[in-house]
Amino acid sequence: MKQFCVAALLCAVYFGVPRAAAAQPPSVLRWGGDAEGGAPFVEADPNDPRHVVGFDVEVATILAHGLGREPQFVQAGFTSLEASAARGDFDIGLSGIEDTPARRARLAVTIPYYEFRERVTVRKADADRFRSLADLRGRRVATLGATLAYDLLLNAQADDGLVPVTYEDDVHPYSDLALGRVDAVLLDQVLADRGVKRNPSLMNLEKDAGIGHYVGVLAASNGALRDRIDDILRTAMRDGRLESIFRRWGMWNQDQPRLYARLSANQPAPPTGSTAATVDPWTAARRYAPAMLRATLITLALSCVAMLLAVAVGAAIAAGRVYGRPIVRFALTAYVEVVRGTPLLLQLFVIYFGVAAIIDLPAFAAALLGLGLNYAAYESEIYRGALEAVPVGQLEAAQALGLGRWQTLWLVRGPQAFRFALAPMTNDFVALLKDSSLVSVITVVELTKQTSIFAANIGSWVVPGAMCAALYLVLSLPLAHAARRIERSWRT
């Protein structure tokens, strides 16, 4: 009887529930956006952070009500919006997503609902020198990865020899421009206006560098819903609801009536500046291979130097905690606990952005310092444990022979502790190799960041992910092998 009840329950779960759910039309429109993108796109309402506000929030509301549903916000990272839409994590992605041919090839993309121009932002002091991208030969120009602006910069890199620098957010490109870490920023005018408002020493150049459009993205299989949404957008263009949204957010300009007139008449939108076309993954892999190898070298160099720093500082901390006076031990323990108790990502932000007004570190130096000092805390605990694992008899023998404390550490205790520490140190180095990917948040393009740029540009993680994994293994496996050999040689 009991088995029958369980079987009946399973049947109900397997067949009954999906049928019941499928029978009802969906009552909500799940729309994905990145609240970290901030105003005017999507941001947490300052008066009630449980809700989001922004023009994309209002566009989503128009779409949901047009479908007879209620909008439901789903938070997603900006760079993963496209992949999440393709996976079906939400019905539509709306967060200042740009229209590109590659995106149209992979997803069901709506008609554009806003036209923007790409703006070059420079320091006011440089306004006479830099009048367009062509004037920025050999200069560092900041932007967001996987955007139309990034495509434009890649083309300009080939044509004008400028150096694109990618950021994860749209705030720090402008603050770094004000600090002199980069020489210009290329982003759409919405972001550029916001960046200039926050940094009075900056200005936007008059001449635009390209035209782009914001669109909604849906899974490729969702063409029917996309067509219904296109109809709702056209209606909202004609009846002025979109205009009132963009007026409310201070974004309405003469480009929009022209765009809406064309789209309402079922004409295509004007072409954008994007040249990113779809290429097969193998061609893309060949094209990206040099950049991936260069990024691998950066990862290797960064990890090796950061580990050396971590070992040196970690050994000093461990010695201080074992031999130091109470005040020294207290200070070093506090350092270890603070560093271990806070995320590495936060520490990198503080070192690079947080103290930039006082110490303006280059990105690579900040990455080295952040990784090295963070891992020093972990290393110090390994060394402290290893030092305390050396038998007390060894120390008494050194004392009886008249060796001093530091001589004993250098000649007897340290070398023996090193043997205990080698295996966990190897583990830590492999972990550091992978944690080095976090430094991409402070603009260092290492292996993982290069992979994500590669993946975003070809719209697939399969080949870039496989290449990236293979390169990490090439770095880490010989290291583990060498450590095992050293350990074996010590044991015999």
Partner 1 sequence: MSVLSVRRLAIERGGRAIVRDLDFSVGSGELVALMGASGSGKTSVLRAIARLDRSAGGQIELQGRVGFVFQFHHLFANMSALANVAVAPVHVLGRSRQEAEVRARVLLTSLGVGDRAEAYPHELSGGEAQRVAIARALAMDPPILLMDEPTASLDPARRGDLAATLIRLAADGRTILMATHDEDFVGACRARVVTIK
Q: How far is the CB of 422 from partner 1 (least distance, A)?
A: 13
Nearer to partner 1 by Cβ, of 271 and 393: the residue is: 393
> Given the DSSP bridges, would you call strands 184-188 and 114-123 parallel, antiparallel or unpaired?
antiparallel
Q: How far is the CB of 463 from partner 1 (least distance, A)?
A: 49
Q: How far is the CB of 162 from partner 1 (least distance, A)?
A: 55
C-alpha 139/C-alpha 184 separation (Å) is 8
Nearer to partner 1 by Cβ, of 420 and 461: the residue is: 420
Work out the angle between the directed axes of helices 447-458 and 462-491 (0-180°, nearest 10).
160
Nearer to partner 1 by Cβ, of 293 and 403: the residue is: 403
Q: How far is the CB of 483 from partner 1 (least distance, A)?
A: 18
Q: How far is the CB of 385 from partner 1 (least distance, A)?
A: 17
Q: Judge residue 84's burial from the number of C-beta atoms within 10 Å of its C-beta, 0-12 exposed, 13-18 middle, 19 or more buried.
A: middle
Nearer to partner 1 by Cβ, of 252 and 418: the residue is: 418
What is the contact surface with partner 1 in residues (CB under 8 A)? Answer: 391, 393-394, 396-403, 407, 411-412, 415-416, 419
Distant-in-sequence contacts of 406-413, Cβ < 8 A, 24+ apart: 409/319, 409/323, 413/387
CA dihedral over 154, 160, 163, 165, signed as positive or negative: negative
Nearer to partner 1 by Cβ, of 364 and 418: the residue is: 418
Q: How far is the CB of 320 from partner 1 (least distance, A)?
A: 22
C-alpha 282/C-alpha 463 separation (Å) is 8
DSSP assignment of 415-471 equals HHHHHHHHHHHHHHHHHHHHHGGGGGGGT---HHHHHHHHHHHHT-SHHHHHHHHHH
The answer to whether the CB of 303 falls within 8 A of the CB of 433 is yes
Q: How far is the CB of 419 from partner 1 (least distance, A)?
A: 8
C-alpha 482/C-alpha 150 separation (Å) is 41
Nearer to partner 1 by Cβ, of 27 and 407: the residue is: 407
474: tokens are: 């090439």
As a whole number of angstroms, the longest Cα–Cα distance in the chain is 97
Nearer to partner 1 by Cβ, of 1 and 400: the residue is: 400
CA 68 to chain CA centroid, Å, is 36
Nearer to partner 1 by Cβ, of 401 and 477: the residue is: 401
Judged by DSSP in three states, 77 sits in coil
Nearer to partner 1 by Cβ, of 18 and 404: the residue is: 404
Q: How far is the CB of 423 from partner 1 (least distance, A)?
A: 17
C-alpha 52/C-alpha 302 separation (Å) is 39
